[in-house]
Every structure is written in C-alpha cells, then in structure tokens.
Amino acid sequence: TAAVDLSCVWHNLEYMVCTWRPGQNASSDTNYTLSYWFDGLKNHEKCNNCSVDQGIFRCVFNLSFPKVTNTYPPISILIRDDSEEIRPVCASKNPTTLVKPATPRRVTLSKTNDEIYVEWSESDTFPENCLYYEVKYHNGDLDSAQIIKVIFHYLVENNYTSIPGVDPNSKYVFKVRAKPKPECYSSKLYSDWSEEKSIGEKMDSTFYFVLIVTVPIIVAISMTILLVYLKRLKILILPPIPDPREILKRMFGEQNEDSQVSKKL
C-alpha cells in the first residue's frame, strides 16, 4: 500500500516537484499527502499543491534556503494517508543531486561577416559561475533529421559564445540549455532546451537551378554580340585592301569595251 517510485526535482533552486505512484495494494480512493522537513525548519511543512493524473501523484512546494550556497542540508520527505491501512514512506534526499536549472531565456543572435554571436540570459538564483551552458545548432540547409540531430555541441562558461566560419548564404538554427557544474552541485539534470532561434536565409534551390541555366545562356549571347561588334569595329578601323589584280582586270575590261564600241561606229 505504500507509495512507490518517489522522484523529486528541485527546479532552479526555487521549488521542488515530487511524483510517485500508489502502492500495488492501495485502494483507488487513497489520498496520499506529502510533508517535508529539513534542518532549520521548526515544524514539518505540508505540501498543499497536490494533484493526480493517470495514476501519477504530483506535489509542488516552494523550497528555498536562507542563504544561496552549494551545500544544503538533507530534506526528509514523508508520504502517507490518514488511513492506517496505508503504509507511510519516509525518504531522505540530498537537494544538490536534484537541481534542475531553468530554461535559458532571451536567446539573441547576431551576425558579423562569417561569424554568428549567440547570447542568452543567466539564472539569477544560482551562485556565480555554478552553471555551464550547451549551445546546439544546425545548418538550415540540411533537411535530414538524422544529420540535424547532433551537428555541433559547444560548451562555454559564460552566457555568450560565437560560431566562426559560417556560410553567409545559409540559415542557422540555435538552442541553448544549462547544467549545474559538478564542483557546485552533484546533479546531472539539464535544463530544458530553449526555444529555437534562427538567423540567415536559406537559399531556394529553384534560384540555384535558374542561376545555373541562365548564366551560360547570358554568357553565350554576350560572347556572340561581342564577336559581331569586334568584327564591325575591325572593318571600320582596318578596311579591306583592294586586290590589284581585280583593279587591273576591271581597267582592261573597260578599255576593251570602249574599243569595241569605236569599231562599231
């Protein structure tokens, strides 16, 4: 009858979400409740924001400590029902293993020549330099999901980075996520990916096809016009020299005609 599969996540050092399933022998009307306590609280606190969906119980409660640090006291969680037939469950959790950062917000992109700059907002609930970020991007010209899946991962310690050597005629899509640094927290949880942002324009394949077909035609027409123009220009600058034999032939031909006319007269 005891609750099973208890799992808790501490979101952005602000609130904790715990989920569990009912015990195998628990009745369908079992009303589990969650209480928690840690060193510093005078009394146990009850989680009042509980719900159940498709047999999965979920409870959300604010969890913050007086001082932001990378060391926190263990938190004790008790799940029970008012009925004595339901066996209670008590678990102790190390909060640093449950940390999940918030999704990076305000991702902005800018491009200079062949370099793209990516910048995003940092979480203000974490100690300084306790998160690193992962930037994932792909070239929009690649339409295969298998190729897009993991094109590039870039690890940085600040809230910005640059990607050099990009194709100026391509579209690029970016998204960012955060993860706690192991020297600050023992958690292995990533934040969710940020909303995708894109920069650049993808060149239409039809444009390339038209370009490939049109350029040779334009070059051929231009060469023909140029050759005709050069030929006419050559004639104007260097007119053809008359053949002396043709001149003599015409002269003697005219004299013979005159002689024949004189004889007839």
Spatial distance between the Cα atoms of 135 and 139, rounded to a whole number of angstroms: 14
Q: Is the pLDDT of residue 159 over 90?
A: no
Distances (CA, A) of 165 to 60, 88, 112, 114, 122: 46, 60, 11, 5, 26
Spatial distance between the Cα atoms of 95 and 74, rounded to a whole number of angstroms: 6
| Between 40 and 256, the higher pLDDT residue | 40
Query: Tell me, what amino acid is at 182?
Result: P
Lowest mean pLDDT among 58-62, 172-176, 260-264: 260-264
Give CA torsion, residues 16, 22, 28, 31, to 10 deg.
-40
| The most confident of 145-159, 163-177, 193-207, by mean pLDDT | 163-177
Helices (H), 103-190: 145-148
Q: Is the pLDDT of residue 15 over 90?
A: yes
Q: What is the pLDDT of residue 58?
A: 93
What value does the mean pLDDT take over residues 78-102? Answer: 88
Query: Cα 200 to the chain's mean position, in Å?
Result: 12
Q: Is the pLDDT of residue 100 over 90?
A: yes
Q: Is the pLDDT of residue 145 over 50?
A: no
Per the CATH hierarchy, to which homologous superfamily does domain 4-100 belong? Answer: Immunoglobulins (2.60.40.10)
Question: What does pTM read for this prediction?
Answer: 0.67
Q: In which residue are the tokens 């917000």 written?
A: 105
Q: What is the pLDDT of residue 220?
A: 77
Averaged pLDDT score across all residues of the chain: 78
Q: Identify the architecture of domain 105-199 in CATH.
A: Sandwich (2.60)
Spatial distance between the Cα atoms of 78 and 174, rounded to a whole number of angstroms: 42
Q: What is the pLDDT of residue 153?
A: 45
What value does the mean pLDDT take over residues 47-65? Answer: 89
Q: What is the pLDDT of residue 210?
A: 59
